[in-house]
Amino acid sequence: MRNGAVLVLLLAAMMASAQDETTADEQKEAIFGSKKEGSNQGVNQLDIDLNLLGRGEMRFGGFTEGAEENRAQFLMERTRLSLDYKRPYIEAKVTAQHSGVWGQSGKGSFNLHEAWAQLTAKNGLFLKMGRQVLSYDDERVIGANDWAMAANSHDVIKFGYEGHGHKVHAIFGFNQNAESISGGSLYTGDSYKMMHTLWYHFDVPKIPIGASLLFMNIAMQGDKYNNVEYKDPCNRYQQLVGGYLSYKPWKLTAEASYYHQLGRTEENSKLDAWMASIKAQYQISRKVGVLTGYDYLSGDDYFVVRKSGGLGLIQHKVFKFFNPVYGSHHKFYGLMDFFYVQAFSDTFSPGLQNLYAGASYSPIKGLNLSATYHYLAMATTLKGLSKTLGHNIDFEASYRILKDAHVALGFSYMAGTDTMERLKRAEGNDDLKWAWFSLIVSPRIISKKW
């Protein structure tokens, strides 16, 4: 009798355990779906990719006053090795990166460019955590900036929803120098202390229109400015809000954007700046295309006084210089990267007007030729100085040698003005030339499914 009672109790426990497991499985299926759903369920995939980039540059003119030479040339390299694992509802990726100049002391830099994991539910919800590349809309404000050897990646948590023409991404980043508890939450790095971003995108059904809204809240922190200790090293918050619109019927692509910045600068000054852009591209034929556009980025009215003061300069009460924060600047304001990559002298920021037009031609498969002209001017007006900064023309040619290898080269010419030389404190900007070439090889070493 005692043995029978024990057996009954064991059977009851096993039935309860099985019921609990069934309930857990049902909950998982409700979130992630059943393994029987779809033809690719239960499939594991591993991809290992190699990306080799080599680039050489030569520059004539545009050097700081008193420079011994008027020419510079160097060779650079970047190597990436990526491991990407996927199975239904989960993906993880790690990308190791080395970049540097040939012959560089210290042998360049080595880091993890990406290291993230993502969970995706069958209803479109997802969670992605770790070091990852952020790229939104035309990359004006948030982009990969892949022209730069180091490029952009962020240590963030990203979660959201994608489905039925809607995309909602929420991003949270919090940076710290180390896990030390003695330093509190003070952060002295070059990046942001905290970043909160909300991005929403909607594709209009049956009409080739896409619209995005972006909100960013960025906290900057530092304990020194010009070697002067902050008495209160707290966070300085600035906000960016705006939108992006695209219309792509048939052979036409039209884009427009507007963004506004508010809040406080890192030095605790008031910030109120804005930018707007419009661009149109038209593919005349399979071989020929044209484009035109205009960018306006607001700027300050006077030179900025440093914290220690300056003779004859005017202290800003409000900063009006728009900063396109983490965008891919190289693709917008001329290939020479004079703007939003290099700073003006004395941190003066007159903003920018960029009126441009260009054309592309593909005579044979794999070969693309392009030329773009930029008229560059300050957004602000300064007494005694012309608004015009210069005239820049960029020539590019690229050819795909193989499926995973292509070569590119370019030449840029800048006819700068006296205004450009004065603001940059550089010589030779009235006749500046820059040439470059690059080879990119990106083979997939392994692609295995099981």
Residue 239 has pLDDT above 50, yes or no: yes
What is the per-residue pLDDT for 311? 42
Indicate the pLDDT class of residue 2, thresholds 50, 70 and 90.
Answer: very low
Whether residue 105 lies inside any domain: the answer is: yes
**Percent of the chain topping pLDDT 90:** 63
Give me the percent of the chain exceeding a pLDDT of 70. 79
CA distance 332 to 352: 11
* CATH at residue 256: 2.40.160.100
- Name the pLDDT band for 3 (thresholds 50, 70, 90): very low
Which residue in the block uniquely carries the two structure tokens 């149109």?
Answer: 280
* pLDDT band with cut points at 50, 70 and 90 for residue 33: low
Across the range 95-116, mean pLDDT stands at 91
On the question of pLDDT at 30 being above 70, the answer is no
Of 51, 177, 57, give the one whose Cα is nearest residue 113: 51
Which range marks the domain in which residue 378 is found? 40-169+235-449
pLDDT at 288 over 90: yes
Q: Which tokens in the block code for residue 259?
A: 């963004």
**Amino acid at residue number 299:** G
Classify burial at 227, counting beta carbons within 10 Å of its beta carbon; exposed 0-12, middle 13-18, buried 19 or more.
exposed
Residue bearing tokens 């900064």: 389
Is 206 a member of any domain? no
Q: Is residue 128 part of a domain?
A: yes
Using pLDDT thresholds of 50, 70 and 90, give the confidence band for residue 53: very high
> What is the domain count for the chain?
1
Which distant-in-sequence residues (6+ apart) come within 8 Å of 397 by Cβ? 367, 368, 369, 370, 408, 409, 410
Q: Which string of b and e fits 8-42 if b means at least 16 CB within 10 Å? A: eeeeeeeeeeeeeeeeeeeeeeeebbeeeeeeeee
Tell me what the mean pLDDT of segment 290-310 comes to.
75
When mean pLDDT is compared across 18-27, 89-98, 102-111, 328-337, the lowest value belongs to: 18-27
Highest mean pLDDT among 13-17, 101-105, 426-430: 101-105
Looking at residue 184, its pLDDT comes to 67
Contact 280, 291 (CB under 8 A): yes
pLDDT given at position 309: 42
Lowest mean pLDDT among 98-102, 122-126, 140-144, 336-340: 336-340
Residue 244 lies in a domain: yes
pLDDT(306) > 80:
no
In angstroms, rounded to a whole number, what is the distance separating the alpha carbons of residues 425 and 22? 73
Q: How confident is the model at residue 7 (pLDDT cuts 50, 70, 90)?
A: very low
What is the pLDDT at residue 273?
94
Q: Which two tokens stand for residue 132?
A: 């990852």
Residue 418 lies in a domain: yes
CA distance 242 to 211: 11
The confidence score (pLDDT) of residue 21 equals: 47
CA separation (Å) from 311 to 223, 228, 299, 347, 423?
Answer: 25, 19, 22, 15, 17
Per the prediction, the chain carries an average pLDDT of 85
Is 180 part of a structural domain of the chain? no
Any idea what DSSP says for residue 336? T
Average pLDDT rounded to a whole number, residues 408-420:
92
Q: From CA 171, how far away is CA 195, in angstroms rounded? A: 8
307 vs 177 pLDDT, higher one: 177
3-state secondary structure of 346: helix
- Does residue 13 belong to any structural domain of this protein? no
pTM here is 0.86
How far apart (Å, rounded) are the C-alpha atoms in residues 256 and 210? 11
N-terminal to C-terminal alpha carbon distance within the chain: 52
59-73, 280-294, 367-381, 408-422, range with the lowest pLDDT: 59-73
Is the separation of the CB atoms in 429 and 345 below 8 Å? no
Q: Is 198 part of a structural domain of the chain?
A: no
| 47 SS3 class | strand
What confidence score (pLDDT) does residue 6 get? Answer: 44
Residue 332: pLDDT over 70: yes
Question: Is residue 14's pLDDT more than 80?
Answer: no
- 92 sits in which H/E element: strand 90-101
Q: What is the pLDDT of residue 358?
A: 98
Contact 398, 407 (CB under 8 A): yes
**Average pLDDT score over residue span 65-94:** 88
